[in-house]
């Protein structure tokens, strides 16, 4: 099923939805289409629940920052899978700076961690997310490091390290200790 066929089915299921196909190199394998932010959750529900679509598995969400080349600044890219049909689809949503978007965790609970990662690294807020806090950076970290305007000021020379040197006797003792710990009853 190509992107236009999926779009036609979704437009019938979600009145007023704004969808358009995304041209791309792998569009035949993974159909992709643009979704308006306002219709993201209803479109996701239709993708999950509609007979013939049944995209039950959430794979990933990520973001792309187009600063300063384009407004709106961000593209959110969702990847979902239909295990029954062995098909994938990609949904893309354009967002401006400081424009929140509804969470898709009510549709696919597995989206929670990925949305937290996007929030942490890009600063995109997911409205309705139950636990939207930093995932990779510390809580006191300032800014969002994958934004194009994030100030990178760290300058550090590459370091090389010498491998740990052990004697043959130390190596044998380590191996015996490891072997004993693996075979010991718990």
Q: How confident is the model at residue 17 (pLDDT cuts 50, 70, 90)?
A: very high
Whether 41 shows a pLDDT value over 90: the answer reads yes
Please, which residues bridge with residue 90 across strands?
32, 79
* 85 neighbors 103 (Cβ within 8 angstroms): no
Q: Establish if 49 belongs to a structural domain.
A: yes
Over pLDDT 90: what percentage of the chain?
A: 66
Q: Establish if 160 belongs to a structural domain.
A: no
Number of domains, the chain: 1
**Which stretch of 73-87, 94-108, 160-174 has the lowest confidence by average pLDDT?**
160-174
For position 28, what pLDDT does the model report?
65
Q: Establish if 177 belongs to a structural domain.
A: no
Please, which residues bridge with residue 95 across strands?
74
Indicate left, alpha or beta for 76 from its phi (over 0: left) and psi (-120 to 50: alpha). Answer: beta
Q: What is the CATH number of the domain that holds 14?
A: 3.30.460.80
Q: Establish if 184 belongs to a structural domain.
A: no
Q: Establish if 83 belongs to a structural domain.
A: yes
| Among 129, 143, 8, residue whose Cα is nearest residue 61 | 129
Q: Establish if 178 belongs to a structural domain.
A: no
Q: Establish if 64 belongs to a structural domain.
A: yes
Percentage helix, strand, coil for the chain under 3-state DSSP, each rounded to 5: 30, 20, 50
* DSSP secondary structure letters along 32-56: EEEE-GGGHHHHHHHHHHSTTT---
For position 74, what pLDDT does the model report?
97
Region 148-167: mean pLDDT is 72
Q: Establish if 167 belongs to a structural domain.
A: no
Q: Which domain holds residue 126?
A: 3-155
Give me Rg for the CA atoms of the chain. 23
For position 153, what pLDDT does the model report?
65
């Amino acid at each position: 099923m190509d992107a236009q066929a999926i779009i036609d089915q979704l437009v019938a299921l979600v009145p007023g939805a704004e969808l358009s196909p995304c041209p791309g190199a792998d569009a035949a394998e993974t159909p992709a289409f643009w979704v308006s932010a306002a219709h993201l959750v209803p479109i996701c529900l239709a993708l999950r629940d509609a007979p013939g679509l049944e995209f039950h598995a959430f794979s990933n969400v990520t973001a792309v920052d187009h600063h300063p080349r384009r407004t709106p600044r961000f593209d959110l890219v969702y990847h979902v899978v239909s295990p029954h049909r062995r098909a994938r689809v990609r949904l893309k949503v354009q967002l401006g700076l400081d424009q929140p978007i509804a969470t898709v965790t009510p549709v696919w609970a597995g989206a929670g961690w990925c949305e937290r990662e996007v929030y942490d690294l890009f600063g995109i807020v997911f409205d309705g997310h139950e636990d939207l806090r930093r995932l990779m950076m510390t809580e006191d970290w300032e800014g969002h490091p994958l934004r194009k305007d994030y100030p990178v000021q760290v300058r550090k020379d590459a370091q090389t390290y010498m491998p740990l040197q052990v004697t043959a006797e130390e190596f044998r003792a380590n191996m015996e200790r490891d072997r004993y710990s693996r075979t010991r009853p718990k």
